[in-house]
């Protein structure tokens, strides 16, 4: 029976991830194939129909046909196209910045200032999101769960934050995590507002901080740039209204809208189990209106919303876009960053969850297991050398790309690649700390290394290597791995001589003559002395003569004299064979 052909429809373009899934291949395999074709691709990179066709051809897959599709009805993870009935929604704001620059203080002060009416009085537990009212308009704040987690959400294709407020202490300036936050915000396509904090402090210098920021690509509006910078004191509360004004102004310029007359959808921003309640899940609604009693699916789990509370813990019957809520009713815990959607009934919800589960099981089954991975899994990496790396890249995509490409270096099982950690942003103190004492190389791709960090790394003997071209990075990694291999001794035959006369024998030297039977004989070569097919010693050729005149070499058929060096006395005899060879200690190649 003829197997049915699989048709993959491509409307305009398809991401590497989607194509890999459609082909039933691991992303690594696909990236590998693209790499062979000279395309350095990341998981989220979009390929046009032609490129995808070439790759599918090269892969030699049978039973797969690509088809150009004109209208785009694909289910997409991206924020949906808005209808003309879309309504205004509150901005979703994340506060980021270097440790101790005042993020927590800012959020706390805002919370107290704006909710003094006693509303927030009893909130002591950790909340992942909350809303404030300013000028009678709502603003949703997300408590940043760490940049890594945000990057994970971005990878799911959803845009979570509209605006990132970057907090920089005016007495400390731009620090590594400030740069990380800037990169994150830029990568997430969020609008940036800078809060220059701690202006009440002695030593605070707003102008210098602005100059510092402009060095990092953020040009203050005041200087003709496009980044709003608001000097504040999070502690005293100075200028916080101005900061909120700016947030709303930015939101207005962005015309943030959402459809409400569609099935509800959004993102999981936190989830945990609670005794007596079961799964407690925090959701951020991004479209539609979420109501109690609805069936929703997130990842491979689903549930009927049993209870829904607003961020203050008050029951809520209905949640509109940009609203964070806490719900119970999920059968199992969904993951942070999972997208949720409403299903029309329980049967549909169950089916969708199952489909998602199968898709992720397939992805796991297709995961590319390298010989190194296998060795590690089997825990028999006894004589395999381990190459530890820590990878930093400018965006998550490049990190993934570097990791995937590194995994594809074939070490024939001799070197195990161990990825200690990966991250987005410049090399930090913590990275160096993690790499210390572990014989680890830090690779930076399109990132830089602050001077103090490179000093610290030099002191701790941690190599940091930064590249802008992936091939160069891979070449270096390969050579590093080759360095780990024990060098091998390589011997190569050069020629053979039959001894026809022995003129002098000292303890460590011999003068003899003979005829070259094959190959050559020249100074510097080593020779095995063979008698009756038995090797009886080893000598080194010191010089060669032909008719008493020094020559460079003798070739097959020629007769000449040799001065030989020995370690121990060897009594050479007529009829012995000298088998010339070279011996080298050679670095093994991968
Ligand atoms: P986070 O690590 O960014 O969350 O920083 P925190 O909010 O914990 O603040 C770190 C320290 O700076 C704390 O001791 C705060 O009291 C202090 N701080 C924060 N904002 C200000 C401010 O505007 N002025 C002054 N003088 N201190 C501040």
Domain at 319, CATH number:
2.40.30.10
- Under the banding of pLDDT at 50, 70 and 90, the label for residue 177 is confident
Q: Which residue has a Cα nearest atom 22 of ligand 1?
A: 198
For residues 223 and 295, state if they share a domain: no
- Residue 183 has a CB neighbour count (10 Å cut-off) of 21
Which residues on neighbouring strands pair with residue 327, listed in sequence order? 281, 308
164 in a structural domain: yes
Whole-number average pLDDT of the chain: 82
Query: What is residue 148's predicted lDDT score, i.e. its pLDDT?
Result: 54
The answer to whether the pTM exceeds 0.75 is no
Report the residue among 97, 98, 99, 100 best suited for mutation to probe ligand 1: largest number of ligand atoms under 8 A from its CB.
100
For residues 498-513, give the mean pLDDT: 94
Total structural domains within the chain: 5
State how beta strands 13-15 and 46-48 pair: antiparallel
Rounded distance, CA 580 to CA 541, Å? 9
For residues 449 and 535, state if they share a domain: no
Q: Give the residue from 164, 167, 143, 147 showing the smallest Cα distance to 240.
A: 167
Query: What is residue 363's predicted lDDT score, i.e. its pLDDT?
Result: 43
For tokens 């909350």, the residue is 130
- Under the banding of pLDDT at 50, 70 and 90, the label for residue 445 is very high
* Residue 202 lies in domain: 87-258
For residues 121 and 235, state if they share a domain: yes
359 in a structural domain: yes
If 0-12 CB within 10 Å is exposed, 13-18 middle and 19+ buried, where does residue 581 land? middle
Q: Give the residue from 345, 358, 349, 303 showing the smallest Cα distance to 327.
A: 303
Query: What is residue 379's predicted lDDT score, i.e. its pLDDT?
Result: 35
Report the residue among 97, 98, 102 best suited for mutation to probe ligand 1: largest number of ligand atoms under 8 A from its CB.
102
pLDDT tens-digit series, residues 300-320:
889 999 999 998 888 999 999
332 in a structural domain: yes
Cβ–Cβ under 8 Å, residues 582 and 492: yes
From the CA of 110, how far away is ligand 1's center (Å)? Answer: 13
Which residues on neighbouring strands pair with residue 133, listed in sequence order? 138
For residues 438 and 559, state if they share a domain: no
- Under the banding of pLDDT at 50, 70 and 90, the label for residue 191 is very high
Higher pLDDT, 126 or 530: 530
- Under the banding of pLDDT at 50, 70 and 90, the label for residue 59 is confident
The CB of 175 under 6 Å from ligand 1? The reply is: no
Cβ–Cβ under 8 Å, residues 326 and 357: no
Rounded distance, CA 441 to CA 443, Å? 6
For residues 245 and 275, state if they share a domain: no
As a whole number of Å, the CA-based R_g of the chain is: 34
For residues 380 and 246, state if they share a domain: no
Cβ–Cβ under 8 Å, residues 431 and 450: no
Q: Is 414 helix (H, G, I), strand (E, B) or coil?
A: coil
Query: What is residue 359's predicted lDDT score, i.e. its pLDDT?
Result: 54
Q: Is 400 helix (H, G, I), strand (E, B) or coil?
A: helix
pLDDT of residue 95 exceeding 50: yes
Cβ–Cβ under 8 Å, residues 83 and 74: no
The CB of 392 under 6 Å from ligand 1? The reply is: no
Rounded distance, CA 186 to CA 164, Å? 9
Query: What is residue 274's predicted lDDT score, i.e. its pLDDT?
Result: 79
Tell me the percentage of the chain whose pLDDT exceeds 90. Answer: 40
From the CA of 529, how far away is ligand 1's center (Å)? Answer: 81
Domain boundary among 203, 228, 258: 258
pLDDT of residue 188 exceeding 80: no
For residues 355 and 223, state if they share a domain: no
pLDDT of residue 325 exceeding 80: yes
From the CA of 235, how far away is ligand 1's center (Å)? Answer: 7
Residue 110's H or E segment, with its range, is: helix 103-114
Higher pLDDT, 62 or 430: 430
578 in a structural domain: yes
Q: Give the residue from 429, 394, 441, 452 showing the smallest Cα distance to 180.
A: 394
The CB of 101 under 6 Å from ligand 1? The reply is: yes
Higher pLDDT, 521 or 1: 521
The CB of 171 under 6 Å from ligand 1? The reply is: no
For residues 488-496, give the mean pLDDT: 87
Cβ–Cβ under 8 Å, residues 488 and 563: no
For residues 303 and 389, state if they share a domain: no
For residues 450 and 573, state if they share a domain: no
Rounded distance, CA 467 to CA 453, Å? 17
Query: What is residue 226's predicted lDDT score, i.e. its pLDDT?
Result: 93
pLDDT tens-digit series, residues 121-135:
444 445 678 899 999
74 in a structural domain: no
- Under the banding of pLDDT at 50, 70 and 90, the label for residue 334 is confident
For residues 271-279, give the mean pLDDT: 80
The overall longest dimension of the chain from CA atoms, in Å, is 113
For residues 297 and 412, state if they share a domain: no
Q: Is 510 helix (H, G, I), strand (E, B) or coil?
A: strand
**Running DSSP on this structure, what letter comes out for residue 206?**
H
pLDDT of residue 368 exceeding 50: no
Question: Which of the residue ranges 257-261, 341-345, 450-454 would you say has the lowest mean pLDDT?
Answer: 341-345
Rounded distance, CA 168 to CA 97, Å? 6
For residues 398 and 530, state if they share a domain: no
- Under the banding of pLDDT at 50, 70 and 90, the label for residue 502 is very high
Q: Is the dihedral of CA 523, 529, 535, 539 positive or negative?
A: negative
For residues 215 and 175, state if they share a domain: yes
């Amino acid at each position: 029976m003829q197997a049915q052909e699989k048709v993959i429809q491509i409307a305009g373009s398809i991401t590497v991830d989607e194509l890999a899934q459609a082909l039933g291949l691991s992303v690594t395999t696909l990236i590998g194939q693209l790499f062979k074709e000279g395309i350095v691709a990341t998981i989220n990179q979009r390929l046009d129909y032609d490129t995808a066709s070439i790759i599918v051809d090269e892969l030699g897959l049978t039973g797969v046909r690509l088809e150009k599709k004109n209208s785009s009805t694909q289910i997409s993870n991206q924020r949906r196209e808005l209808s003309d009935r879309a309504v205004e929604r509150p901005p979703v704001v994340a506060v980021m910045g270097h440790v101790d620059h005042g993020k927590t203080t800012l959020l706390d002060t805002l919370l107290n200032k704006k909710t003094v009416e006693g509303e927030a009085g009893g909130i002591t537990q950790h909340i992942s999101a909350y809303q404030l009212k300013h000028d009678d308009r709502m603003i949703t704040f997300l408590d940043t769960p760490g940049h890594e987690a945000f990057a994970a959400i971005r990878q799911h294709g959803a845009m979570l934050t509209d605006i990132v407020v970057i907090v920089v202490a005016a007495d400390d300036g731009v620090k590594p995590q400030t740069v990380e936050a800037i990169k994150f915000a830029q990568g997430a396509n969020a609008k940036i507002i800078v809060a220059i904090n701690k202006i009440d402090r002695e030593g605070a210098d707003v102008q210098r901080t602005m100059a510092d920021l402009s060095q990092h690509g953020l040009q203050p509006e005041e200087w003709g740039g496009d980044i709003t910078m608001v000097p504040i004191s999070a502690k005293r509360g100075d200028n916080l209204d101005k900061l909120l004004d700016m947030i709303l102004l930015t939101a207005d310029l962005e015309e943030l809208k959402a459809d409400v007359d569609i099935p509800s959808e959004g993102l999981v921003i936190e989830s945990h189990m609670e005794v007596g309640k079961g799964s407690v899940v925090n959701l951020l609604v991004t479209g539609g209106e979420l109501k109690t009693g609805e069936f929703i699916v997130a990842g491979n789990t689903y549930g009927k919303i049993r209870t829904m509370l607003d961020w203050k813990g008050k029951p809520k019957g209905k949640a509109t876009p940009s609203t964070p809520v806490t719900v119970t009713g999920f059968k199992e815990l969904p993951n942070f960053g999972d997208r949720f959607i409403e299903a029309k009934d329980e049967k549909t919800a169950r089916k969708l969850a199952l489909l998602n589960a199968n898709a992720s099981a397939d992805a796991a089954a297709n995961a590319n297991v390298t010989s190194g991975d296998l060795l590690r899994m089997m825990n028999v990496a006894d004589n395999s050398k381990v190459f530890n790396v820590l990878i930093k890249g400018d965006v998550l995509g490049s990190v993934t790309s570097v990791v995937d490409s590194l995994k594809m270096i074939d070490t024939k099982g001799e070197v195990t690649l161990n990825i200690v950690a990966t991250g987005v942003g410049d090399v930090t103190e913590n990275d160096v700390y993690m790499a210390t004492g572990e014989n680890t190389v830090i690779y930076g791709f399109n990132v830089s290394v602050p001077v103090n960090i490179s000093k610290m790394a030099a002191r701790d003997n941690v190599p940091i290597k930064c590249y802008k071209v992936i091939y160069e990075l891979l070449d270096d990694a390969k050579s590093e791995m080759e360095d780990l291999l024990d060098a091998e001794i390589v011997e190569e035959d050069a020629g053979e001589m039959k001894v026809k006369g022995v003129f002098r024998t000292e303890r460590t030297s011999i003068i003899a003559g003979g005829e070259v039977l094959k190959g050559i004989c020249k100074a510097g070569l080593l020779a095995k002395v063979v008698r009756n097919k038995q090797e009886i010693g080893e000598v080194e050729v010191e010089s060669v003569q032909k008719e008493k005149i020094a020559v460079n070499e003798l070739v097959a058929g020629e007769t000449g004299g040799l001065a030989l060096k020995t370690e121990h006395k060897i009594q050479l005899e007529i009829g012995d064979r000298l088998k010339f060879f070279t011996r080298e200690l050679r670095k093994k190649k991968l």
